[in-house]
Structure 1
Amino acid sequence: MHRCDMTQIFKFGGASLRDADDIRHLGHLMADFPGRPLVVVLSAMGKTTNALEALLDAARGNDEANYRERLENLRRDHLAIVGALFGSKASPVAQRVEALIAELDQHHRTLAKHARPFHYDQTIGFGELMSTTIVSAWLEASGIATRWQDARRLIVTDDCYQAANVDWAATTERLRELAWDDCRLLVTQGFLGGTQDGQTTTLGRGGSDYSAAILAHCLEAERVTMWKDVPGLFNADPRRFDNATQLEHISYAETIELAWHGAKVIHPKSLAPLQRKRIPLTVRSFKAPRTPGSTIDADPRHDGDVPIVILREAQILLTLYPRDFALMDEAHQHDILGHLVRVGVHASMIDSAAMRVSLCLDRPTGRLEALVEALSADYRVVRRNNLTLLTVRHPDDGLLEGLSAGRDCLAERRNADTAQRLFPGDQCPESWHLPT
Structure 2
Amino acid sequence: MSWSVLKYGGSSVADSQLWGNIQKEITTKMDQGHRPFLVLSALKNVSNLLEALLHQALAGVHSKAIFQLKELHFQFAAELGVNGELILSGDFDELKHHCETIARLQTITPKLHAQVVAMGEILSTRIAVAYFNNVGIDALWLDARDFLIAENQAEHDPWHHYTSNQCNYRAPLTAQLLGLAENQLGITQGFIAADPAGDTVLLGREGSDTSASYFAARLNASQLEIWTDVPGIFSINPRDVSEARQICEISYANATLLSRAGAKVLHPRALAPVQEKNILTYVKSTKYPELSGTLIHNSVAPLTGVIGMAKEEAVTVIKDFSHGESVLSALMIMGFDQIELEYEQDDVVIMSYRNTEQQQPLDEQLARQFSINIDSGQTLITILGSSDDCRWMEDVNRHLASQYGERVCQCLTNKRQGLMSILTAEHFASELLAQLHVGLIQNRQDNTFGYQWNELTQIV
Q: Give the letter aligned to residue 94 of structure 1.
A: E
Matches within 5 A, 1:1-400: 5-35=1-31, 36-59=34-57, 61=58, 63-65=59-61, 67-86=62-81, 90-91=82-83, 93-110=84-101, 113=105, 116-159=109-152, 160-168=161-169, 172=172, 176-196=176-196, 198-304=198-304, 306-319=306-319, 333-335=321-323, 338-344=326-332, 345-346=336-337, 348=339, 359-362=349-352, 369=361, 373-376=365-368, 379=371, 381=373, 383=375, 385-394=376-385, 396=392, 397-398=394-395
The verdict on how the C-alpha distance between 1:398 and 1:84 changes in structure 2, with shifts beyond 3 A counting, is same
Contact preservation (8 Å) 2:169, 2:273: no
Distance (Å, rounded) in 2 between the aligned partners of 1:350 and 1:213: 24
Post-superposition shift, 1:39? 0.5
Q: Per the alignment, do residues 220 and 132 of structure 1 end up closer, same or farther by CA in structure 2, a change over 3 Å counting? A: same
1:41/1:212 contact within 8 Å kept: yes
Q: Distance in 1 between matches of 2:397 and 2:229?
A: 29
Tell me the distance in 1 between the aligned counterparts of 2:166 and 2:350.
28
Gaps of 5+ in 1: 321-332
Q: After TM superposition, give the deviation of residue 424 of structure 1 in Å.
A: 2.1
User: Could you say if the C-alpha distance between residues 308 and 178 of structure 1 is closer, same or farther in structure 2, counting changes exceeding 3 Å?
Assistant: closer
Cα contact 2:26–2:36 (8 A) shared by 1: no
Q: What SS does the corresponding residue of 1:64 show, helix, strand or coil?
A: coil
- The match for 2:411 is 412
* Residue of structure 1 in register with 2:423 after alignment: 422
1:261 positional shift: 1.9
Q: Bigger CA drift: 241-250 or 359-368? A: 359-368
Q: Secondary structure at the match of 2:424?
A: strand
Kindly indicate whether the alpha-carbon contact (under 8 Å) linking 2:121 and 2:190 is maintained by their aligned counterparts in 1.
Answer: yes
Distance between the aligned counterparts of 1:204 and 1:380, measured in 2?
27
What is the aligned length?
409
The verdict on how the C-alpha distance between 1:300 and 1:359 changes in structure 2, with shifts beyond 3 A counting, is same
Q: Is the CA contact 1:258–1:265 (under 8 Å) kept in the aligned structure 2?
A: no
RMSD of aligned Cα (Å): 3.1
Contact between 1:339 and 1:371, CA under 8 Å: does it hold in 2?
no
CA spacing shift, 1:107–1:6, aligned 2, 3 Å = farther
- CA shift, 1:247, in A, is 1.1
Aligned-partner SS, 2:224: strand
1:206 alignment partner, SS class: coil
Aligned to 2:157: none
Q: Contact 1:310/1:391 (CA < 8 Å) preserved in 2?
A: yes
What is the DSSP-based 3-state SS (H/G/I as helix, E as strand, rest coil) of the residue aligned with 1:11? strand
Q: TM-score, normalised by structure 1?
A: 0.83
Cα distance 1:184–1:351, how it changes in 2: closer, same or farther (>3 A)?
A: closer
2:446 is matched with none
Q: 1:330: which partner in 2? A: none
The aligned amino acid for 2:330 is R
Q: Which letter does structure 1 place at the counterpart of 2:88?
A: V
Which range moves more in the overlay, 153-162 or 240-249? 153-162
Cα 1:175–1:198 change in 2 (3 A) is: farther
CA contact (8 A) 1:225 1:281 kept: yes
Instruction: Give, in angstroms, the shift of residue 174 of structure 1.
Output: 7.6
Query: Which residue in 2 is equivalent to 1:324?
Result: none
**SS of corresponding position for 1:75:** helix
Could you report, residue by residue, the CA deviation over 1:231-284 in whole angstroms, capped at 9, with x for unpaired residues?
101111122123221111111111222222222232122211112111111101
| Cα displacement (A) at 1:180 | 4.1
Identity, % of aligned positions: 25
Deviation at 1:318, TM superposition (A): 4.8
Amino acid at match of 1:142: V
Q: Which deviates more from structure 2 when the two are superposed, residues 184-193 or residues 393-402? A: 393-402
Gap change, CA 1:212 and 1:363, over 3 Å in 2:
closer
> Would you say the 8 A contact 1:350–1:357 is kept in 2?
no
Q: CA deviation at 1:184?
A: 1.3
For 1:210 and 1:243, locate their aligned partners in 2 and report how far apart those are by CA, in whole Å: 29
CA contact (8 A) 1:217 1:273 kept: yes
**Cα gap change, 1:121/1:317 in structure 2, threshold over 3 Å: closer, same or farther?**
closer
Give the corresponding residue for 1:432.
434
Change (3 A) 1:224 1:389: same
Query: 1:134 Cα deviation (Å)?
Result: 0.9
Structure 1 residues 185, 400: CA separation in 2 closer, same or farther (over 3 Å shift)?
A: farther
In 2, Cα distance between the equivalents of 1:382 and 1:55?
33
CA shift, 1:130, in A, is: 1.0
After superposition, the C-alpha distances for 1:68-110 in whole angstroms (9 at most, x for unaligned) are: 1110110010011122222xxx44x431112211121123324
TM-score (norm. length: structure 2)? 0.79
Task: Report the 3-state secondary structure (helix = DSSP H, G, I; strand = E; otherwise coil) of the residue aligned with 2:421.
Answer: strand
Tell me if the contact between 1:339 and 1:375 (Cα under 8 Å) persists in the aligned partners.
no
Question: 1:21/1:363 Cα in 2 relative to 1: closer, same or farther (>3 Å)?
Answer: same
